[in-house]
Structure 1
């Protein structure tokens, strides 16, 4: 965003908010698949599907979780629409953005085992990941660093709660 003629902070916040609306669009499309032609899909519109706290999170704090979530939910939408290559491409983009996308992998495995997803379409995931690494490779980032980024991140936090208020003593649970 620093290359655009806007303040980088504003650019980041606008980009985050835009992905909140894309996420809302895919939520709407999922609801509309389940309830075609019914009013139920109305609340799933892009302006309502993303709760106000998420919109504030994106626009005020500049959080970017909606970026990977929009592509992950879009991937699920395309799975349901029987568009396996596009679904896996979207899931590949989501995976390139954030490791938490791995929680969709058991669904993909189940669909492959039940023959609801051609296994060859899974090749789109690493292909998209590699294609999205090309700009970083062009500026000199080592391939080893790019392809081990998630392995390196797994040791970043060794606590499950990160000091969140929880009940850990036996007497507190009674």
Structure 2
């Protein structure tokens, strides 16, 4: 009898080990859901001041009928989702968080697929689990009820198809990302660089971004919005936070000039924008001298995308504490290629966590000091990229 039980037990263990990857995927997913549910009751200041207020305004305007009006500062696709929330008899706080948390898992799934494109040896479940474990990814959706996981998911899907040499779906998904968040602009210059290098990308593909973005806004047009709505929403966002100065809770280069006064905002803002563009031009000039369509590989796409996002986030003015979200992801992807990026990923993830904690928990920290750490990490990351992917022309990790 004991031997029979032991036989059944061994067969069960053998079965579980044989299918362990599916089992581990399920366990990680379940734990990812549970850890997020633990934070669902938390009400952030942003929720009380903005999200709940917008929800009530939309409900008073008639739910889906409210799509005719601009409520809040989000684009039409996200406002449409809030409109639909008003018909669901569940606390809207939980609906906001459930939506963003759902995209956490989509983001983790495509991040793992993305990493497999340039490193076949990487375990899918490792990347999937790490993404779901990043504190700021958890806090952004489950605690703060923000939606950065949505646009970042579509950016990752876009990069995934770009690496598979399928520019059409890549640019479609980039347009969808733009329709949800203006912060997609952080990675956009990298696509211009890839256009200059890759022979299978045409200027027509950039029109696809616009078409995709406008298709996502069709419900708003049907509701009576004018054709400039997608542009107007983002133009209003760029002017919304001038009163907070050149830095808005994210430690970066602009922090050094944050005390110049509001009357100098426009001058220093233009200075920082031009300085950022100039920095990208210098970086891209170096890249174009070293890379062409014959030697541009998946690892270069990731590294150049990361450096582009890092440059934008660290040098541009008016960066919010959430704007390092995409950067943290790109640094993790880069660490899969080159272990030296693990330090950059850790530092910048902690910087994002500190910035989150200031907004949600009132944590105080020395802004300029942390900004110097951020700038140092940026220089360090640029050096690694130049050393590994430009000077040495690292061979693709896809080759086993």
Query: Does TM, normalized by the shorter one, top 0.5?
Result: yes
Q: Which runs of 4+ in 1 moved over 3 A?
A: 39-42
Task: Give the secondary-structure state (helix, strand or coil) at the position aligned to 1:16.
Answer: helix
Alignment of structure 1 residues 14-25 onto 2, 5 Å: 14-25=98-109
Is the 1:16–1:64 Cα contact (8 Å) retained in structure 2? Answer: yes
Alignment of structure 1 residues 54-133 onto 2, 5 Å: 54-114=137-197, 115-133=199-217
1 CA distance for matches of 2:108 and 2:122?
Answer: 16
| Deviation of the 1:77 alpha carbon | 1.1
Is the 1:22–1:70 Cα contact (8 Å) retained in structure 2? Answer: yes
Is the 2:179–2:230 Cα contact (8 Å) retained in structure 1? Answer: no
Tell me, yes or no, if structure 1 residue 49 matches structure 2 residue 49.
Answer: no
Is the 2:131–2:137 Cα contact (8 Å) retained in structure 1? Answer: no
Residue by residue over 1:104-144, the C-alpha shift from the partner in whole angstroms, topping out at 9 and shown as x without a partner, is 22121112112242332222211111111111111222333
Is the 1:68–1:97 Cα contact (8 Å) retained in structure 2? Answer: yes
| Deviation of the 1:55 alpha carbon | 1.7
Is the 2:110–2:153 Cα contact (8 Å) retained in structure 1? Answer: yes
Equivalent of residue 160 in structure 1, options 213, 224, 246: 246
Tell me, yes or no, if structure 1 residue 139 matches structure 2 residue 216.
Answer: no
Alignment of structure 1 residues 4-23 onto 2, 5 Å: 4-23=88-107
Q: TM-score, normalised by structure 1?
A: 0.84
Structure with a larger share of its residues in helix: 2
Q: TM-score, normalised by structure 2?
A: 0.39
Is the 1:26–1:74 Cα contact (8 Å) retained in structure 2? Answer: yes
1 CA distance for matches of 2:249 and 2:231?
Answer: 31
Task: Give the secondary-structure state (helix, strand or coil) at the position aligned to 1:140.
Answer: coil
1 CA distance for matches of 2:249 and 2:187?
Answer: 28
Distance 1:135 1:42, change over 3 A: same
Distance 1:97 1:163, change over 3 A: closer
1 CA distance for matches of 2:188 and 2:122?
Answer: 32
2 CA distance for matches of 1:86 and 1:16?
Answer: 23
| Deviation of the 1:163 alpha carbon | 5.9
| Deviation of the 1:101 alpha carbon | 0.8
| Deviation of the 1:8 alpha carbon | 2.2
Aligned length: 166
Unaligned runs of 5+ residues in structure 1 are: 169-174
2 CA distance for matches of 1:52 and 1:82?
Answer: 32
| Deviation of the 1:74 alpha carbon | 1.2
